[in-house]
Amino acid sequence: MNLRRWGECALLAICDADLLGKILKQGKIAFYVREEFYKGPLVSLEEALDLIQQSTIVNMVGRGIVGAAVKKGLVHPEAVLKIDGVPHAQIMKV
């Protein structure tokens, strides 16, 4: 996970660890799970869910993290996109 703060805003980029550095391809879409954006401390799933709740903007990718966020009610299942079969979701709190 990678957490960036600007004043009152917090941007959390989080992915399943096995996806870091991978490229998800589907049709004309190429989604890069870039280390520059997502890499940071490795956290437990519980810590990740707490960070999601505390963040104003969240970008998440992976079956584990997105599935857990949906199960906890942090992301609506219909808001989840799949790229190359891998779930991706974003949250913006305004």
Domain that holds residue 34: 2-92
Based on the structure, what is the number of domains in the chain? 1
What per-residue confidence (pLDDT) applies to 94?
Answer: 83
Q: CB-based contacts of 62: which residues, under 8 Å, 6+ apart? A: 15, 16, 18, 19, 86, 87
Q: Tell the residue number behind the tokens 């989080």, with chain if given.
A: 14
Model pTM?
0.94
Domain containing residue 49: CATH number: 3.30.1860.10
How much is the pLDDT for 43?
97
Supply φ then ψ for residue 32, to 5 degrees.
-95, 125
pLDDT, one tens digit for every residue, the chain (94 residues): 999 999 999 999 999 999 999 999 999 999 999 999 999 999 999 999 999 999 999 999 999 999 999 999 999 999 999 999 999 999 999 8
What is the per-residue pLDDT for 31?
97
